[in-house]
Structure 1
Amino acid sequence: MLSALPALGQGQTNANVIDALIQSLNDNNASVREAAVSAIEKIGGPAVEPLIKALNDSNSSVRVGAELALEKIRDPVAVGSLSKILRDDKDPYVRANAALALGMIDDSKSTVPLTQALQDRDVNVRRGSAVALVELSSRGMKVDQAVDPLILALNDTDGTVRANAATALGNIKDKKEVDALIISLKDSDWAVRRYAAYALGSMGDSRALGPLTQALKDENSSVREAAVIASGALEIQQKQQDAQQAKASQGPASSKAIQDICSCTTNLIRNNNPSGLRAPF
């Protein structure tokens, strides 16, 4: 069975093959479910509608499997259904994975449901929504509606949510974020301070120079490194008024930092499954 599943995802497909693969997402064996997801991903476009239907399956594992496949296919057709799951599904692990999937699909319509989910009672859903907004904003998607909710998220009880919120704000670069990000340089969590520093370095606002100078004395070396990079970027912008050059001078380190926080947060969510589901990955 396992060896046959990936082959089903190759070449020509029909409705019966797709239905068989969808049903395999509910197999009791985790390896079978993983193989089904891999095969469905290879099918791509023709599998989107059956996967959207599977989002309403009574079995949570099937719903998560469908989310993972849709995340890899990245078809905007799925945004509406994933947004509904993010809002309404009773299982927080399913909601969290819906948020992660939305973050990988280039469609700004997911901004509102993701910002609303920043208030979810479950911490992993809030983490997933925050990292999704990081992903969208880092790819240049227009998520301006998220600014105020992300500023509020800088006060979330969870440090991972706060760090992702700071990162997303740094990608958006709205001037009204600056004061809130400066406050985050004093956050109790060093990761939040680090990403707040990177965010301020991308803003081109001289108000951040003094606070970033103070951050050079932070007890954590990662925060100090971020403050050095951010301060340098701001100095270049002040002297040359060349935002693109400043971005380039900051790029490699801050871009890697964004990749790191997205990867770490996604792994944190998917390895911390409060429902005890056996997700297909």
Structure 2
Amino acid sequence: MLIGEVARRSGVSTRMLRHYDSLGLVRPTGRTVGGYREYSAEDIRRIFHVESLRSLGLSLRQIARALADPAFAPSALVGDLIRRTEDRLKREQELLERLRTVDALAPCGWQDVLHIVELLQGLNSPSAARRQQSVLASAEDVPVPAELLAGAVLAESDPNVAGALRWALARAGGDGLASVASGLYSENVDIRRRAVLAIAEMPGDEATAVLADALEDSDTTVRRHAALALGTRGATAAVATLVAMVVEGTNDVEAAEVLGALSLDPGCADPIMSALVDELAAHPADPAVRIRLAQAFAEMPATLAQGVLRQLAHDEDRAVALIASTLVGMLEERSNG
């Protein structure tokens, strides 16, 4: 079969067939009566072998090596091709995400496009300082999509960069809450922790509702962050977790301050006092817990806290008694002032 007919039947161009010939990859082994080089049936089978291996991503040099050595083991080469293909797909996926981000921002000109690309490169920088600078320096006329910020804040491990991203996300509005709230359902606890911190800085009833759900999280850190944010918003659902934080000594000062602010509502004060008194009774022999509870009582309205603190001023533990006595004096000065 002459080269033109081989090209028509195989779909391989005559130019490529000549290239294969020049490389010694597939050479016509027959001759016609007129002296023209002719492809045999075996030559054509070799062409299809070459094309099959090319479809896997092998180079012509790799194909020549594979076909020349009957003992050639394909496993290592195929494994390398898999890794290279995965890397290429990852790069293409990243390119697709960049293009979608540019498209979502609807830039008015190439200067806007260049700014967006610069921002994306900054957010993906291995340097935490550059990532933070990229967030803080974003131009007002080219706002960053909330979805992009949400994805960045859920992935960010550096606390300073994460703080800048949360600030920008709280200002972005739009679909920021929905985008970051999905992180609360991640199996990765670090992502859930980042999500609750970001939501804590977002205003509105929807954010409050999401934080209330986070009180049921299996991770104590997520629950504590949610409780502090909810307590600051006046949500009494956080009281049990806040009291537990005082008892456990984790962010106990902050938790006590939030409980004090909640107690300014007459409807909240009695339940909070009851919860604190119950914990006091539950830890009669733990001075550290009783000291933290005494300090929490000092954050309550003086009319409610003074009686309990006066009793603690006679506690069997001298440290507890001394701190409670000092706190009673502080409350009396505050009341007299």
TM-score category (smaller protein): 0.5 to 0.7
Which string of whole-angstrom CA distances, capped at 9 and with x for unpartnered residues, describes residues 142-173 of structure 1? x23x2133225534795426665443222222
- 1:168 corresponds in structure 2 to 258
Structure 1 residue 207: Cα displacement: 4.0
Verify: 1:34 aligned to 2:132, yes or no. Answer: no
Higher relative contact order (CA 8 A, sep 6+): 1
Segment of structure 1 superposing worse, 42-51 or 92-101: 42-51
- 1:147 corresponds in structure 2 to 236
1:76/1:129 CA distance change after superposition, 3 Å: farther
8 Å contact kept, 2:239–2:259: yes
Other structure's SS at 2:208 match: helix
Q: How many residues align?
A: 215
Structure 2 counterpart of 1:69, which letter? A
- 2:200 corresponds in structure 1 to 103
Structure 2 counterpart of 1:147, which letter? T
- 2:115 corresponds in structure 1 to 17
Structure 2 counterpart of 1:101, which letter? A
* The one of 291, 294, 308 aligned to 1:211: 308
2:327 and 2:205 mapped to 1: Cα distance?
28
Other structure's SS at 2:216 match: coil
* The one of 211, 220, 233 aligned to 1:123: 220
Identity between Structure 1 and Structure 2 (%): 22
Structure 1 residue 180: Cα displacement: 0.7
* The one of 194, 212, 229 aligned to 1:132: 229
Structure 1 residue 94: Cα displacement: 2.0
Structure 1 residue 178: Cα displacement: 1.3
- 1:255 corresponds in structure 2 to none
Verify: 1:91 aligned to 2:188, yes or no. Answer: yes
Verify: 1:183 aligned to 2:278, yes or no. Answer: yes
1:222 and 1:35 mapped to 2: Cα distance?
49
8 Å contact kept, 1:99–1:128: yes
1:49 and 1:71 mapped to 2: Cα distance?
13
2:158 and 2:186 mapped to 1: Cα distance?
10
Structure 1 counterpart of 2:239, which letter? L
Other structure's SS at 2:164 match: helix
- 1:60 corresponds in structure 2 to 155
Note the aligned Cα RMSD (angstroms). Answer: 4.2
1:22 and 1:80 mapped to 2: Cα distance?
21
Structure 1 residue 82: Cα displacement: 6.3
Other structure's SS at 2:173 match: helix
Which string of whole-angstrom CA distances, capped at 9 and with x for unpartnered residues, describes residues 178-215 of structure 1? 1112334465583x655543443333253432322244
1:83/1:235 CA distance change after superposition, 3 Å: farther
Q: In terms of Rg, which structure is larger?
A: 2
1:58/1:224 CA distance change after superposition, 3 Å: closer
Other structure's SS at 1:43 match: coil
Verify: 1:70 aligned to 2:70, yes or no. Answer: no
1:126/1:148 CA distance change after superposition, 3 Å: closer
Structure 1 counterpart of 2:259, which letter? L
